[in-house]
Structure 1
């Protein structure tokens, strides 16, 4: 998994939020992780940015935003040219799935935490 950089979109500083737990599990597995959220801060040495930075070499984007909130991120995420986007439970968005497909980006409707715990990440 080294070299497979993941961007968590919808990252939270709240340790009870799934995005926060995902950041911890990703870093525990040695996955280089970046994060974007509403509030700046750090989660397990991962800086949560509030701005949409032009991250390099993003392999996977894992979403923790509801479909309505995702709309403002469509062009940004497509522009990062990830290999795949993971729609975690509650983030399923068929409009965005189609846009990703049109741009040759794979999408999965899955749970990042389950994928990590079953070594399917």
Structure 2
């Protein structure tokens, strides 16, 4: 099963965890789409700077702090993902409640760890 993943908060900087996650997802043959503040490409994945209504998104993995997430609440819900992953530093009880109200699963976990332990 393809777990198409949106990396929200994607960075072109190789030292950023969002950048590492894109590379690791691609190397695990997972379809990746990405949104960030700067256009560019990481591991063959174009980083979009517009909020595109992607279809069939299984997972949204967050790399934005809670204050930065607020403007994306409606967007995340509109994608109807199967789950949202809150990476370290992105934990957000307000968004947890919104996801619960929309029957969207979430987990507080690290995408890189999930991938390396075959739990993704």
TM bucket (normalised to shorter chain) is: over 0.9
Alpha-carbon shift at residue 35 of structure 1 (Å): 0.2
User: RMSD value over aligned CA atoms?
Assistant: 0.5
Q: Which residue of 2 aligns with 1:8?
A: 7
Alpha-carbon shift at residue 4 of structure 1 (Å): 1.4
Moved over 3 A (4+): none
Q: Deviations over 1:32-70 (max 9, x none)?
A: 000000000000000000000010000000000000000
Higher strand residue share: 1
Q: Which residue of 1 aligns with 2:29?
A: 30
Q: Which runs of 5+ in 1 are unaligned?
A: none
Q: Deviations over 1:52-99 (max 9, x none)?
A: 001000000000000000000000000000000000000000000110
Alpha-carbon shift at residue 3 of structure 1 (Å): 2.0
TM-score (norm 2): 0.99
Q: Which residue of 2 aligns with 1:61?
A: 60
Q: Which runs of 5+ in 2 are unaligned?
A: none
